[in-house]
C-alpha cells in the first residue's frame, strides 16, 4: 500500500501530480478536484482547456482564469492550437467531467498528455 508520504515523494520526483486513478474502460487519466485545486495554488502556468461553450463560460459556473476555451464540438478541428503544449500536461475541464473525459480521449489519441479534471466546474465551485 502506498502511503500519503510516499505519494508526495513520488509526485515531487515526477514533477507532476499523481493521478488517483484511470478510468479502466477508456483508460482516461484523472485528477481529483481537491488535488487539482492544490495544484492551482502551487503551480503557475498550468495549461487548462475548458471544453464548454463560450455561453457556458460566461454563465453561473464561471471559468478558471487563464483557461483556453475550445468547445468539445470544435476540438477535432482545433486541436492543433494546442500543439505548442504537447510536451506538457494539459488539464481538461467542463461542467461535470463528462465532456472533458471525451476530450482527453481525443487529445491523447493525437499524442497529447491530457488529464480529466473530475467533477468539472460544478465541483470546482463547491
Give the domain ranges of the chain. 15-124
Those residues of the chain that have pLDDT short of 50 are 1, 6, 9-24
Query: Going edge to edge, which strands form the sheet with 28-31?
Result: 21-23, 28-31, 113-117, 89-93, 47-50, 68-69
pLDDT at 27: 77
The residue among 110, 86, 95 whose CA lies nearest residue 51 is 95
pLDDT at 24: 45
Query: Is 15-124 assigned to CATH 3.40.250.10?
Result: yes
pLDDT at 97: 94
**Alpha-carbon gap, residue 24 to 19, rounded angstroms:** 13
**Alpha-carbon gap, residue 70 to 87, rounded angstroms:** 19
Name the 3-class secondary structure at 54: helix
pLDDT at 3: 54
CB atoms closer than 10 angstroms to residue 117: 28
Amino acid at each position: 500500500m502506498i502511503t500519503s508520504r510516499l505519494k508526495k515523494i513520488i509526485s515531487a520526483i515526477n514533477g507532476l501530480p499523481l493521478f488517483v486513478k484511470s478510468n479502466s474502460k477508456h483508460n482516461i487519466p484523472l485528477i481529483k478536484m481537491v488535488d487539482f485545486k492544490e495544484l492551482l495554488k502551487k503551480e503557475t502556468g498550468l495549461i487548462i482547456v475548458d471544453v464548454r461553450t463560450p455561453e457556458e463560460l460566461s454563465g453561473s459556473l464561471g471559468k478558471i482564469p487563464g483557461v483556453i476555451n475550445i468547445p468539445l464540438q470544435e476540438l477535432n478541428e482545433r486541436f492543433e492550437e494546442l500543439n505548442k503544449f504537447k510536451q506538457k500536461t494539459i488539464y481538461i475541464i467542463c461542467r461535470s467531467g463528462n465532456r472533458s473525459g471525451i476530450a482527453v480521449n481525443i487529445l491523447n489519441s493525437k499524442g497529447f498528455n491530457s488529464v480529466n479534471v473530475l467533477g468539472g466546474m460544478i465541483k470546482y465551485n463547491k
